[in-house]
Amino acid sequence: MELSVGAFVLYTVSLFSLICFTHGANFYQDVDITWGDGRGKILENGNLISLSLDSSSGSGFKSKKEYLFAKVDMQIKLVPGNSAGTVTTFYLRSMQPKHDEIDFEFLGNVSGSPYTLHTNLFTQAVGNREMQFNLWFDPTRDFHNYTILWSAHHVIILVDGIPIRDFKNNEKKGVLFPTFQPLRMYASLWNGDSWATQGGRVKTDWSKAPFVAMYRNYKVDTCNWSGGKPNCHQKPWWNYEVTGNRYKQMRWIQRKFMIYNYCDDAKRFPQGLPLECKLR
């Protein structure tokens, strides 16, 4: 039985209220501001990061540590107003030439239009796995929680605790999956007006600069190590599955708010859709 819209919204609000009252780590201890010439700032005794973008530069930070499998949360308040051309990011990436990467990218828009959430996954430098969503709330009015759950079984993308994407490990069937490269967390705010808003047709309005995005409650639950291997089996997220009501919620979001799915874009793949699209 499909969830009603009212029941779904009530569930989302109650779940998010619980998330909001948890506390994250201290940014002074856990991240480095890596670029921006002072445009990235750690504030409120290490509990908040402000990233800004102007016509000269954006800004960004990264985690001090790398992780091999983890549940990673970040609360973000996106650029308000006319954010066209701006790209706010939160992602995991390895540093190897054939890198793995799991992306949240928030593509700004003109005032009154919804943000686009752009998700992608790279394995051994092979990407082209984009799924895009219109956010069903205003991400500029308050902080919302964005989660990457990366286990040996799945990469699951969640928004306010609601799964919106589930990329399964089908390595045994020939689909590449990130299993052996440690990943580091990155976040940034930069100018992407060559492509970010309506395919680059709408440019950044620099008279509205500086553009500012805020980050807080960065939380990482990663595996313990034993004998040189990650020991994850006691972590509650390790066996997280998108089944039952979770699956219904994900499909509801995808039906209502997904605006692009690479698995539906046959024209883009004239030699045939990627293998994982055929295993859904």
Question: Which residues are annotated as catalytic?
Answer: 101, 105
- DSSP H helices, 141-185, are none
Residues 119 and 132 sit within 8 Å (Cβ to Cβ): yes
Q: Provide the residue type at 31 as one letter.
A: V
Full strand arrangement of the beta sheet holding 116-122 = 31-35, 59-67, 183-191, 86-93, 101-107, 116-122, 131-134, 258-261
Decide: 100 and 93 in contact? Cβ < 8 Å. yes
- Alpha-carbon gap, residue 251 to 243, rounded angstroms: 11
* Cα 249 from Cα 32, distance rounded (Å): 36
